[in-house]
């Protein structure tokens, strides 16, 4: 049996050019257009408004990408795909691991088409978002659904959604924090040292509509802290406030840094699975500058996107979706965030 894995991701422009950045932003604004509360509008109006907003926002984002030398997200995603395919092969499975990006190339749809062309017998769409959210995990899987609706393909399929509860993932993130603590001579039990988790924010409307994203984020941060021996910690959200009238999760990460009662902070970008503009620009430049203006020592945890435990966990999840008897299998349950048949996760029981 040949397994096809679709590693679904957000995507980010690799180059700081108008030709890459504007379409990227345009697609994001179009997806999130219902948040703007402007009533029923045609698709043409949605895309025209999204284009205008993208053109306004593009120069600032292009400047961010210039500072960081372009986004490394795609390169790191390719490394993840290669590592996962190698691990599946090591376990004796014939597989092809393909990338599909929500907002850049290669699009989700082309990844499904490539899997069909490769002749896979079992398809596992796998969003690389540990904490399930409506505009990330659910939206990416909805794109796969839309492709199947337009292109009937009789293939066995099981979708993976939320997986932040996997014990190897908790360990992976805790180990990354430990590495920074040890290499920098720090002590998490020191009251002058504060662990700060920085998570991607989400619009409050999604939470009001039933998303458990904030609940899952806090649950995961607590699990990582327990793995570290339960040090004191704070959580902040990286919110995108360039959409008028949209309320976001609180507290903002900037407000958390402003309130820290310590001499130093260790910032872990807890909901990110690759280095990208939100880590390399927002955390390494903007947030660092804010912390140092307060006189805080600033340490940032690198994202362990290729850690051996993480690659092992990805393979475990894929094979658990294919067969509950597979090596390293974990018990998957019907997803509550996307309650369609065949969508499974580690959160389904509560």
Contacts of 325 (CB under 8 A, 6+ apart): none
CA 263 to chain centre: 30
pLDDT in tens, 226-282: 999 999 999 999 998 766 678 999 999 999 999 999 999 999 999 999 999 999 999
Closest C-alpha among 85, 22, 93, 82 to residue 58: 22
What phi and psi, each to the nearest 5 degrees, are found at residue 226?
-60, -45
Task: Report if residue 264 sits inside a domain.
Answer: yes
Task: Report if residue 330 sits inside a domain.
Answer: no
Task: Report if residue 206 sits inside a domain.
Answer: yes
Q: Is the pLDDT of residue 164 over 70?
A: yes
Are 213 and 251 in contact, with CB atoms under 8 Å apart?
no
Q: Is the pLDDT of residue 325 over 80?
A: no
Residues facing residue 344 across a β-bridge: 160, 334
Residue carrying structure tokens 């069909």: 116
Number of structural domains the chain divides into: 2
Note whether 61 and 174 are same-domain residues: no
Note whether 62 and 183 are same-domain residues: no
Predicted pLDDT of residue 243: 65
Q: Which of 5, 35, 68 is the last residue of a domain?
A: 68
Are 239 and 203 in contact, with CB atoms under 8 Å apart?
no
Task: Report if residue 322 sits inside a domain.
Answer: no
Predicted pLDDT of residue 39: 57
Task: Report if residue 172 sits inside a domain.
Answer: yes
The domain of 183 spans 167-300
Residue 45, both tokens: 């109006």
Residue 144, both tokens: 């796969």
Task: Compute the C-alpha angle 160/143/215, nearest 5°.
Answer: 50
pTM of full prediction above 0.85: yes
pLDDT in tens, 106-115: 999 999 999 9
Note whether 293 and 175 are same-domain residues: yes
Higher pLDDT, 47 or 213: 213
Note whether 296 and 171 are same-domain residues: yes
Task: Report if residue 27 sits inside a domain.
Answer: yes
Q: Is the pLDDT of residue 8 over 90?
A: yes
Are 98 and 111 in contact, with CB atoms under 8 Å apart?
yes
Are 216 and 206 in contact, with CB atoms under 8 Å apart?
no
pLDDT in tens, 202-222: 999 999 999 999 999 999 999
Task: Report if residue 182 sits inside a domain.
Answer: yes
Note whether 172 and 284 are same-domain residues: yes
Predicted pLDDT of residue 244: 65
Predicted pLDDT of residue 284: 97
CATH number at residue 221: 3.40.50.1400
Predicted pLDDT of residue 327: 72
Task: Report if residue 41 sits inside a domain.
Answer: yes
ω into 205 cis (within 30 of 0): no
């Amino acid at each position: 049996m040949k397994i096809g894995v679709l590693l679904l991701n957000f995507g980010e422009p690799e180059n700081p050019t108008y030709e890459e950045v504007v379409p990227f932003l345009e697609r994001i604004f179009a997806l999130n257009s219902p948040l703007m509360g402007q009533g029923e509008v045609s698709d043409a109006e949605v895309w025209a408004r999204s284009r205008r907003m993208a053109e306004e926002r593009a120069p600032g984002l292009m400047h961010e990408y210039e500072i960081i030398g372009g986004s490394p997200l795609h390169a790191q995603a390719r490394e993840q795909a290669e590592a996962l395919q190698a691990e599946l092969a090591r376990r004796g499975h014939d597989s092809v691991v393909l990338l599909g990006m929500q907002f850049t190339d290669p699009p989700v749809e082309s990844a499904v088409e490539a899997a069909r062309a490769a002749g896979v017998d079992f398809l596992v769409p796998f969003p690389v978002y540990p904490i399930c959210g409506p505009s990330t995990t659910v939206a990416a899987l909805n794109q796969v659904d839309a492709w199947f609706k337009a292109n009937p393909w009789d293939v066995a399929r099981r979708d993976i959604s939320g997986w932040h509860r996997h014990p190897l993932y908790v360990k992976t993130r805790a180990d990354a924090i430990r590495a920074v603590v040890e290499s920098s001579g720090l002590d998490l039990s020191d009251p002058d040292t504060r662990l700060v988790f920085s998570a991607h924010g989400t619009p409050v409307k999604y939470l009001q509509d039933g998303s458990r994203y904030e609940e899952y984020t806090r649950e995961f941060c607590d699990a990582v802290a327990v793995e570290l021996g339960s040090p004191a910690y704070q959580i902040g959200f990286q919110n995108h406030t360039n959409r008028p009238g949209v309320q976001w999760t609180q507290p903002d990460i900037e407000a958390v840094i402003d309130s820290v009662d310590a001499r130093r902070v260790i910032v872990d970008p807890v909901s990110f699975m690759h280095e990208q503009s939100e880590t390399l620009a927002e955390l390494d430049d903007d947030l660092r500058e804010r912390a140092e203006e307060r006189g805080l020592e600033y340490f940032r945890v690198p994202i362990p996107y290729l850690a051996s435990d993480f690659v092992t966990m990805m393979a475990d999840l894929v094979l658990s979706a294919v067969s509950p008897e597979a090596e390293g299998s974990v018990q998957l349950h019907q997803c509550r965030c996307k309650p369609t048949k065949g969508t499974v996760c580690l959160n389904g029981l509560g």
